[in-house]
């Protein structure tokens, strides 16, 4: 068992020490640090057999009380029954006292059980010797001792040393009694030989039982140690992934924003081409990072679904809009066939990742000229299918494509086609969400990747008034970001879009009210800030102090599910770094409009 320190913290098990003890089981003795815990383990095992021991012991004693009454003279059974009843009461006490794990220390429990065992043996010896002296009509031999010795060696579950010493004490007591009543040497030696051989066999059995019990104890401890080690390694991986995810997303977020600013500022063709290539490389890096982090987070169980109702048609339209440029570059006709009033009950982010990977697979790897997203309703399920007219897949290929780092038509492993994790992530997301799914394909006849999602409740959506592409945004944005590069990147891009930006490294000045004015339309805050408050705590504090109550967005590289739930409960929108500039612009536009509308009202 895991040892507990005085501070109440569990110490890891000494796995090498346990392995060393497994080679020293023959002496039936562990080091003191392990032996005490094993005695507790053995005590629990002894207590687990208390009912068969109690029933058999009390049953046999009551049976022999009746035998004494039925076959022995009154002068004998008056004494024998009295002694048997007294020993029966003692045995009942020993059974009750010694079989209370956690309330009686193992050593006291074993000693008490041994006392009951030896007392019962001495009682049987007394009855045998009295019958031998009184010469009762029914011959009474030492055979009854075999039942007692059998119980002590095999049934009670005592430690080997206790059972052997107790058994030898009983046998030597019987032989001493035989000599006291004047039995011949031949009778004493003969009985001693048979009883001694029986104890020898019983000792071997008791030794084998304790050896097996110590082996089982070590195996359980080694299994627990392996489980603890695996849990520590899993926690280490979780911490590594959380740190890697946060630290790698931060500079990538700044790179994406600065590149977007360059794209909008640069006019000279050659330079613009270089900037576009830089943007494409950054996009590939972001896609690979997301894939590697996603597959790692899914494999260690860091992702938990957050279910809610969503309207499907508009959601799919917005999703497909992000693939229009990629489809157009490849001369692929990308279409949507979805009922207008269809809703799902799902995790939107996980479902988006799943459908996005299916679409990317169809556009990049299928060699198709037409890709269609088809939605159909079936009872309480909605089937979403991504259908292409590409090269299709054989039965063997349908099994292989869901393996990690597998790409069927990319022998050179060019980065433009990803790293081969998209469909593997899809498989893990399907298992996590417990969605039925499948692939229907034949070579040369295209492919259909489908999933079935539970139906949801349709909800009316407010229509946002979109600004024309390239139109300047208007409004004042309060930006709280502790990372200098990310703060500069956000400020540069927001100012370029037409916003007036006020930047802060932490929220202390905001809470003191030390600001130029209160005309703010939107608050953007990073989660990890300098000082005592996180970004989410800062937003809540500003609201409670009535300093700022408008729209707020938490921008973070922390992908912890608990943070997403907390932000949702607080009514704060959460977006993850690196955020695509186009998405950031749409979000800022819609929230600025909302902030202005709330300030007017």
> What is the tens place of the pLDDT at every residue in 167-218?
999 999 999 999 999 889 998 999 999 999 999 999 999 999 999 999 999 9
pLDDT for 288: 60
The verdict on whether omega for the bond into residue 360 sits within 30 degrees of 0, i.e. cis, is: no
| Predicted TM-score (pTM) above 0.75 | no
Residue 504's φ and ψ, nearest 5 degrees, are -140, 145
d(CA 467, CA 499): 14
pLDDT(533) > 90: no
pLDDT(374) > 60: yes
Q: Report the CATH number of the 476-600 domain.
A: 3.40.50.2300
Each domain of the chain, given as residue ranges in start order, spans 12-230, 307-454, 476-600
- In terms of residues, how long is the chain? 601
Q: Are 45 and 157 a contacting pair, CB within 8 Å?
A: yes
pLDDT(9) > 90: no
* Both structure tokens of 46: 């002894």
Q: Report the CATH number of the 307-454 domain.
A: 3.30.565.10
d(CA 19, CA 40): 20
d(CA 15, CA 407): 41
For all residues of the chain together, what is the average pLDDT? 81
Using alpha carbons, list the distances in angstroms from residue 472 to 469, 583, 585: 9, 15, 10
The closest alpha carbon to 117, from 68, 150, 140, belongs to 150
d(CA 461, CA 370): 30
Banded pLDDT at 365 (limits 50, 70, 90): confident
Banded pLDDT at 246 (limits 50, 70, 90): low
pLDDT(576) > 90: no
Give the range among 108-112, 512-516, 574-578, 586-590 with minimum mean pLDDT: 512-516
pLDDT(317) > 80: yes
pLDDT(5) > 50: no
pLDDT for 413: 43
The verdict on whether omega for the bond into residue 578 sits within 30 degrees of 0, i.e. cis, is: yes
- The DSSP annotation for 34-51 comes to HHHHHHHHHHHHHHHTHH
109-126 average pLDDT score? 95
479-506 average pLDDT score? 86
The closest alpha carbon to 195, from 146, 160, 242, belongs to 146
**How many other C-beta atoms can be found within 10 angstroms of the C-beta atom of residue 467?**
16
Residue 577's φ and ψ, nearest 5 degrees, are -80, 145
Q: Any bridge partners for residue 478, and if so which?
A: 502, 523
Secondary structure letter of residue 557 according to DSSP: S
Q: What is the CA radius of gyration of the chain?
A: 40
């Amino acid at each position: 068992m895991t040892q507990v320190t005085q501070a109440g913290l569990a110490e890891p098990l000494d796995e090498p020490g346990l392995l060393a003890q497994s080679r020293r089981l023959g002496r039936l003795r562990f080091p003191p640090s392990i032996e005490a815990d094993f005695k507790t383990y053995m005590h629990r095992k002894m207590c687990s057999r208390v009912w068969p021991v109690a029933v058999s012991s009390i049953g046999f004693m009551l049976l022999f009380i009746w035998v004494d009454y039925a076959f022995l003279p009154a002068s004998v059974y008056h004494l024998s029954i009295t002694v048997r009843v007294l020993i029966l009461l003692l045995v009942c006490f020993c059974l009750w006292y010694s079989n209370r794990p956690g309330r009686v220390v193992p050593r006291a429990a074993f000693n008490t059980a041994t006392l009951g065992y030896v007392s019962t043996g001495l009682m049987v010896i007394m009855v045998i010797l009295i019958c031998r002296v009184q010469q009762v009509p029914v011959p009474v031999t030492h055979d009854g001792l075999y039942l007692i010795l059998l119980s002590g060696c095999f049934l009670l579950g005592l430690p080997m040393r206790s059972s052997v010493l107790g058994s030898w004490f009983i046998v030597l007591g019987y032989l001493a009694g035989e000599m006291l009543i004047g039995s011949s040497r031949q009778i004493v030696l003969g009985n001693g030989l048979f009883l001694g051989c029986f104890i020898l066999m019983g000792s071997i059995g008791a030794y084998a039982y304790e050896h097996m019990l110590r082996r089982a104890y070590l195996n359980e401890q080694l299994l627990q140690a392996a489980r603890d080690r695996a849990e520590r390694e899993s926690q280490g991986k979780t911490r590594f992934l959380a740190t890697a995810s946060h630290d790698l997303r931060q500079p990538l977020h700044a790179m994406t924003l600065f590149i977007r600013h360059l794209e909008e500022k640069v006019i000279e063709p050659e330079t613009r081409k270089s900037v576009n290539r830089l943007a494409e490389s950054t996009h590939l890096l972001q896609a690979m990072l997301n894939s590697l982090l996603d597959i790692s987070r899914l494999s260690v169980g860091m992702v938990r679904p957050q279910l809610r109702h969503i309207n499907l048609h508009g959601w799919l339209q917005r999703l497909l809009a992000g693939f229009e440029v990629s489809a157009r570059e490849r001369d692929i006709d990308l279409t949507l066939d979805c009922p207008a009033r269809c809703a799902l009950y799902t995790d939107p982010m996980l479902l988006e990742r799943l459908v996005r990977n299916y679409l990317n697979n169809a556009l990049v790897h299928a060699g198709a000229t037409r890709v269609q997203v088809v939605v159909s309703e079936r009872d309480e399920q909605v089937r979403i299918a991504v259908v292409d007219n590409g090269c299709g897949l054989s039965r063997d290929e349908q099994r292989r494509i869901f393996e990690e780092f597998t790409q069927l038509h990319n022998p050179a492993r060019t980065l433009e086609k990803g790293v081969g994790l998209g469909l593997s992530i899809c498989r893990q997301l399907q298992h996590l969400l417990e969605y039925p799914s499948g692939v229907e394909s034949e070579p040369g006849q295209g492919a259909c990747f489908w999933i079935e999602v539970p139906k949801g409740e349709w909800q009316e959506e407010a229509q946002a008034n979109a600004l024309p592409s390239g139109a300047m945004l208007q409004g004042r944005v309060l930006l709280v970001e502790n990372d200098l590069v990310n703060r500069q990147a956000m400020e540069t891009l927001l100012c370029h879009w037409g916003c007036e930006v006020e930047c802060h490294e932490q929220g202390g000045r905001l809470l003191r009210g030390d600001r130029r004015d209160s005309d703010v339309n939107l608050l953007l805050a990073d989660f990890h800030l300098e000082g005592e408050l996180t970004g989410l705590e800062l937003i809540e504090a500003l609201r409670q102090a009535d300093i700022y109550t408008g729209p707020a967005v938490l921008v973070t590289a922390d992908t912890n599910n608990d943070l997403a739930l907390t932000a949702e409960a607080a009514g704060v929108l959460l977006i993850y770094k690196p955020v695509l500039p186009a998405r950031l612009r749409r979000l800022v536009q819609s929230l600025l409009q909302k902030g202005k509308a709330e300030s007017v009202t």
